[in-house]
């Protein structure tokens, strides 16, 4: 986990600048010179609508409205966010809704390190604990879309004929997807190629996950359209939700350039989601076999 935080810091080292200057102000709590940390996180020195802590994340100077003369910083961020597919709100009032997971992580990390530097408590053990705590928080974040029984098509016909017809429909769907999106290797192999060493990654390798994601996306869509015998509805639904989580996981992995924290969350959650999918699929197969044998 700590290694993943290090990767994040390598991409965003500017968030740690100036934290050593934090001191305790007269009865006002932690301060940076004379500014309370709470105020610092909402500070906009150059009054351009972009908070100071965020500007370095985009390579901008928080003391200038135009880091590049003639080009407003707000325009730079709007363009970059548009290119990366993130929200483009520019006013400070919009930030709570427009922050990426990396933005949120940066703000919290900045505040935490500032506090610990002030108290003299920052050392190697503390740094590792921060990394573990923040990564654990990311791992335990809420999952994405969850389907319910109302989302799938069910039939009251639970005969052997109906179950066999259902199995044939699922097999045909899977066969078509495997031909349409041939995989370029398993996910573990791709991740091993992505993480070159403790200081380097190859983001281009993550494109190899595209067929996995496409298979999952269209597989979910297809499974939602197939008519399911009611006695198989729950295991059918469990496989769909496990596939959805795995697909979201892989999609998050690909965002290392634009939202590294979300990408690292994807890495940290991969094993858990993969195990969930395996267990769901095993229960699915066992249930079908029992139904066919019992009739």
Digit-coded pLDDT (tens) for 199-223: 678 889 999 999 999 999 999 999 9
Q: Which residues of 28-62 are buried (b: 16+ CB within 10 A; e: fewer)?
A: eebbbeeeebeebbebeebebbbbbbbbbbeebeb
Average pLDDT over residues 167-178: 95
Retrieve residue 34's tokens: 């004379």
CA distance 59 to 56: 5
- pLDDT tens digits for 240-278? 999 999 999 899 888 887 777 778 778 778 888 889 999
The β-bridge partners of 29 are 25
pLDDT at 89: 43
Q: How many CB atoms lie within 10 A of CB 179?
A: 8
Closest CA to 11 of 144, 199, 177, 241: 199
Helix (H) or strand (E) holding 32: strand 29-32
Helix, strand or coil for residue 70? coil
Using the 8-state DSSP alphabet, how is residue 257 labeled? T
- pLDDT (0 to 100) of residue 120: 63
Identify the H or E element spanning 229: strand 227-229
Look at residue 163 in the predicted model and tell me its pLDDT. Answer: 95
Q: Where are the alpha helices (DSSP H) in 85-209?
A: 95-98, 101-119, 124-139, 160-180, 187-194
Model pLDDT for residues 7-34, shown as the tens digit of each residue? 444 444 333 333 333 333 333 333 334 4
Which domains are seen in the chain, by residue range? 2-139 (no CATH), 149-293 (1.20.120)
Specify which residues 31 forms β-bridges with.
Answer: 23, 36
Q: What is the distance between the alpha carbons of residues 243 and 133, in angstroms, rounded to a whole number?
A: 28
- Cα–Cα distances (Å) from 188 to 78, 205, 264, in that order, read 35, 12, 14
Which residue matches tokens 């921060």? 130
């Amino acid at each position: 986990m700590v290694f993943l935080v290090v990767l994040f810091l390598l991409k965003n080292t500017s968030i740690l600048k100036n934290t050593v200057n934090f001191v305790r102000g007269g009865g006002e709590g932690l301060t940076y010179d004379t500014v309370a940390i709470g105020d610092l996180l909402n500070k906009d020195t150059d009054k351009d609508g972009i908070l100071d802590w965020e500007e370095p994340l985009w390579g901008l100077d928080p003391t200038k409205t135009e880091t590049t003369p003639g080009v407003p910083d707000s325009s730079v961020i709007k363009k970059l966010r548009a290119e990366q597919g993130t929200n483009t709100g520019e006013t400070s009032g919009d930030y709570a809704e427009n922050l990426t997971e990396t933005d949120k992580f940066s703000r919290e990390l900045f505040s935490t390190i500032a506090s610990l530097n002030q108290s003299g408590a920052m050392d190697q053990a503390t740094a590792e604990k921060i990394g573990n705590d923040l990564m654990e928080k990311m791992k335990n974040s809420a999952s994405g879309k969850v389907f319910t029984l109302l989302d799938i098509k069910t039939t009251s016909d639970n005969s052997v004929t109906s179950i066999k017809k259902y199995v044939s429909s699922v097999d045909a769907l899977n066969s078509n997807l495997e031909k349409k999106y041939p995989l370029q290797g398993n996910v573990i192999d791709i991740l091993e190629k992505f993480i070159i060493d403790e200081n380097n990654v190859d983001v281009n390798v993550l494109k190899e996950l595209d067929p996995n994601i496409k298979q999952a996306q269209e597989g979910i869509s297809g499974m939602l359209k197939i008519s399911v015998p009611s006695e198989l509805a729950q295991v059918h639904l469990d496989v769909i939700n496990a596939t959805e989580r795995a697909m979201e996981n892989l999609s998050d992995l690909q965002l290392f350039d634009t939202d590294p924290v979300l990408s690292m969350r994807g890495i940290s959650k991969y094993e858990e989601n993969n195990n969930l999918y395996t267990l769901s699929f095993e229960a699915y197969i066992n249930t079908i076999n029992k139904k066919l044998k019992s009739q």
